[in-house]
Amino acid sequence: MTAIKFGTDGWRAIIAETYTVDNVRRVARGTALWMKSKGMSKVIIGHDCRFGGKMFLEAAAVEFTIEGIQVIAADGIVSTPMVSLAVVKHSCDLGVVITASHNPPTYNGYKLKSSYGGPSTPTEIEEVEKLIPENTSKADTNFQKEIEKGTIVLSNLESLYEQHVRSNFDVPAILKQDKMVYDSMFGAGQFVMRKLFPGTVQLHSEHNPGFSNTAPEPIAKNMTELMNYMKTSANGRVAFATDGDADRIAMVDEDGNLVDSHHVLLLLMYYLVEYKKMKGKIVVSCSVSNKINKLAKLYQMECISTKIGFKYIAEYILAGDVLVGGEESGGLAIAGHIPERDGIWIGLTILELMSKTGKSLKELIQILYDKVGSFSYDRLDLHLSTEQMQSVKQILSTDDITEWGPFKVIAKEKIDGDKFYFENDSWLMFRASGTEPVLRIYAQGVNGDQVKQIHSHARQRLGI
């Protein structure tokens, strides 16, 4: 029987290979057994737009009822932040999301959300893994029977989230901003955004579990259509995209330039500190730009780097006094909301900043460049063979790396992967993905040409 292991953010696997109804039942049963061992009694479960989401949700939900756990099931497609918010609003012990987030369309997955509305801790996940049985016998019941018995209750989580947004944002004021464009990447954010902002331009906002053969991850190579739209259309002043389960974000300015997570983090800090007069710690994953730390120092705030995975950031948020938390991948959170990544919430916060200042995204970023210096960033995702991976690991394991081509190493960091700092705030980092068989190569330079040079010298030295 296949061993089930959770990665950076939940269990992910290829549909019909390892991600099967039987294995989903096993994971759900293990989760239910863990809940019982902790005296927990109520779970909420939802699914996003991926293939088989409803089927996998129903299979998992029944497993919980077998172990005596009361189930609230999302009535329809929902985003991960909707489930996380509903865990809190419905006073549940745990949340489960059937999603593979930003992964390619062949994947599905299973995320766990704790009672506080954020990712379960690494310790909790390890405990669940240990209780996953080798197999489960076919239940003498089904989803519909359990609804009739009242052990499963359907709930409109999207409506709950919509009302929460409306009570925290001046949606009419944001609507007055002309020419907002939203790209759901065929993901779960499309339905609530259509309700919140009717009449705005929305790309890829239809049900398409194949995601047009593009991973629903808001990074440059997957956003060319949105970026070209902003370059060529008179109908776009600002745009943002969210991933498959709508917990990640990237933005695009009026000229069609990508505004990545590093820049969005800086914008959030600027808005919350200078306009909302808020203070607190900044907690980011180690693959995030060092410009974040530079701005934190200007604001006299502590900046903490963590391992990659929002669960590590969430632990600091729960401890209190965190203003902004975020990852390079676009998963960002701010004070005043649940301790969870939320692409739509963050997008609306930046739109609110634009509304209050009257400035464009481009103008706001220039203000930040005046404070910390301009920079460019990119990430390569390389699918390597096992032999190539081993070769890379061997090269990086040596302590005598002092340069990457003409770029002299002035400092090294090994929080989670291998990071090399150069002059002028430039850097290079390597890390194997926790959810896919991929080597990620991150680089920051003073401009796009330098980023390409850094990547080129890295690949030459590693022979990939």
Could you give all domains of the chain from N- to C-terminal order, each with its CATH number? 11-158 (3.40.120.10), 169-372 (3.40.120.10), 376-462 (3.30.310.50)
pLDDT value of position 138: 79
pLDDT value of position 175: 84
pLDDT-based confidence at residue 305 (cuts at 50, 70, 90):
very high
pLDDT for residue 179 is more than 80: yes
The mean per-residue pLDDT over the stretch 414-425 comes to 96
Higher pLDDT, 233 or 443: 443
pLDDT value of position 435: 67
pLDDT value of position 7: 82
The mean per-residue pLDDT over the stretch 341-363 comes to 96
pLDDT digits (tens, 9 = 90+) for 125-144: 999 999 999 988 878 899 99
Higher pLDDT, 304 or 433: 304
**Does the reported pTM lie above 0.85?**
yes
pLDDT-based confidence at residue 400 (cuts at 50, 70, 90):
confident
Average of per-residue pLDDT values in the chain: 95
pLDDT value of position 362: 96
Percent of the chain with pLDDT over 70: 99
pLDDT for residue 8 is more than 80: no
Three-class HEC string of the chain: CCCCCCECCEEEEEECCCECHHHHHHHHHHHHHHHHHCCCCEEEEEECCCCCHHHHHHHHHHHHHHCCCEEEEEEEECCHHHHHHHHHHCCCCEEEEECCCCCCCCEEEEEEEECCCCECCHHHHHHHHHCCCCCCCCCCCCHHHHHHHCCEEEECHHHHHHHHHHHHCCHHHHHCCCCEEEECCCCCCHHHHHHHCCCCEEECCCCCCCHHHCCCCCCHHHCHHHHHHHHHCCCCCEEEEECCCCCCEEEECCCCCEECHHHHHHHHHHHHHHHCCCCCEEEEECCCCCHHHHHHHHCCCCEEEECCCHHHHHHHHHHCCEEEEECCCCCEEECCCCCCCCHHHHHHHHHHHHHHHCCCHHHHHHHHHHHHCCCEEEEEEECCCHHHHHHHHHHHCCCCCCEECCEECCEEECCCCEEEECCCCCEEEEEECCCCCCEEEEEEECCHHHHHHHHHHHHHHHCC
pLDDT for residue 178 is more than 70: no
pLDDT-based confidence at residue 44 (cuts at 50, 70, 90):
very high
